[in-house]
Amino acid sequence: MRPFEYTSASDTAAAVEIVTGDPDAAYLAGGTTQVDLMLKDGVVEPRRLVDITRLPLRGIARIGDALHVGALTTMEELAADATVAERLPCVREALLHGASVQLRNMATIGGNVLQRTRCRYFRDPAVAACNKRAPGSGCAAIHGAARMHAILGASEHCIALHASDLCVALVALDAIVHVQGRDGERTVPLTELYVLPGDRPDVENVLVHGELITAIEVPLLPAGARSGYVKIRDRASYEFALVSVAAALVVEDGVIVQARVGLGGVGTIPWRARAAEQVLIGGRPGRALFAAAANAAIIDPYTVEGTRFKVTLAERAIVRALEDLVA
């Protein structure tokens, strides 16, 4: 562990000012990713940590047809929210299928959005080839133990998975990220926050250094919508997804009028399966339609030996998630 300076911020603008002005500074919220990366794995080495947990960014408010979730709200708090339970079951289920209850009591929603990949090739400094950690050095994972890696948005440059469950639901719901920077506030649709790795896997999102996520705005589903989250993994708890699906349908008069599908466990970023949604909209719910949607969802996967099974598994999981909604 490299020695670092610790500061506890009491004012949001001041925190943003410190981090923006210091390229070696980073925010500390729940710490469930950051502490691992620094203390156990030694792959990030900020010289200054700015603890933001005392900032007034915690809490959930319904404003019109959206939920405004403060960035410091914990995963457990959001999962326990009555509106989430009633109107956004896919968010609740995604949260409760994530991590462990101990982690969910610490981990924040803002931190969840910006969590780093669990790729053990990225997280072990003894591995030389990692384009995400050392641009241009290559990717050891494509020849390695790749079972937990991505097949969508992946390439020979990087197959690191974005392992969030929550964000799979949030991209499907068109959540909006509220960001505060030195020059003021802005909003970014979550689907546009992440940057596909391409040949620069070290660039993960559109935020500039020092910008702080202050809230996530989650539009509510229509009252008659059904939504859910299916997560497939070896263990029944405390494991990242091999494949997961967040799905929402609005069915009127036997016809699907609105469809939302997000995929986890397969993407270098939380994956929105818009092609699958297009197949669903206007169709009548049923196994044939769901299979067609699933077939359309996985476009040009980049697979290696360890991830080849994910194509089939993802297609079957999409069918399962949709069937569960209309059962």
Using rule CB under 8 A, residue 327 touches other proteins: no
Interaction with other proteins in 27-86: which residues (CB under 8 A)? 40, 42
In order of 16, 51, 98, 179, the CA distances from 183 in angstroms are: 10, 21, 34, 11
* Residues 140-159 as x/- pattern, contact with other proteins by CB under 8 A: x--xxx-xx-----------
Smallest separation, CB 95 to other proteins (Å): 16
Smallest separation, CB 134 to other proteins (Å): 15
In angstroms, rounded to a whole number, what is the distance separating the alpha carbons of residues 96 and 165?
9
Smallest separation, CB 119 to other proteins (Å): 10
How many residues contact other proteins, by CB under 8 A?
A: 34
Using the contact rule CB under 8 A, the part of the chain among 60-68, 86-94, 229-237, 270-278 near other proteins is: 229-237
Q: Which is nearer to other proteins, 62 or 143 (CB)?
A: 143
Question: Residue from 15, 261, 263, 317 that binds other proteins (CB under 8 A)?
Answer: 317
Smallest separation, CB 263 to other proteins (Å): 15
Closest CA to 171 of 290, 91, 289, 278: 91
Both tokens of 311, joined, read: 């194509």
Q: Which is nearer to other proteins, 100 or 278 (CB)?
A: 100
Using the contact rule CB under 8 A, the part of the chain among 108-116, 188-196, 227-235, 275-283 near other proteins is: 227-235
Interaction with other proteins in 240-269: which residues (CB under 8 A)? 240, 242
Using the contact rule CB under 8 A, the part of the chain among 20-28, 115-123, 150-158, 190-198 near other proteins is: 115-123
Residues 6+ apart with CB under 8 A from 9: 15, 18, 50, 51, 52, 54, 55
In order of 16, 23, 26, 262, the CA distances from 209 in angstroms are: 9, 7, 9, 28
Count CB-CB contacts under 10 A for residue 203. 13
Read off φ and ψ for residue 204, nearest 5 degrees: -110, -25
Smallest separation, CB 233 to other proteins (Å): 8
Question: Residue from 79, 179, 256, 319 that binds other proteins (CB under 8 A)?
Answer: 319
Question: Residue from 6, 63, 82, 235 that binds other proteins (CB under 8 A)?
Answer: 235
Please, what is the angle between helix 309-326 and helix 287-297, to 10°?
140
Question: Residue from 29, 232, 269, 296 that binds other proteins (CB under 8 A)?
Answer: 232
Using rule CB under 8 A, residue 237 touches other proteins: yes
Question: Residue from 127, 172, 298, 318 that binds other proteins (CB under 8 A)?
Answer: 127
Using the contact rule CB under 8 A, the part of the chain among 4-12, 50-58, 199-207, 232-240 near other proteins is: 232-240
In angstroms, rounded to a whole number, what is the distance separating the alpha carbons of residues 233 and 44?
28
CB 238 within 8 A of CB 205: no
Question: Residue from 48, 120, 182, 200 that binds other proteins (CB under 8 A)?
Answer: 120
CB 78 within 8 A of CB 84: yes
Count CB-CB contacts under 10 A for residue 17. 15
Residues that bind other proteins (CB under 8 A): 1-3, 40, 42, 118, 120-121, 124-127, 140, 143-145, 147-148, 232, 234-240, 242, 309, 312-313, 316-317, 319-320
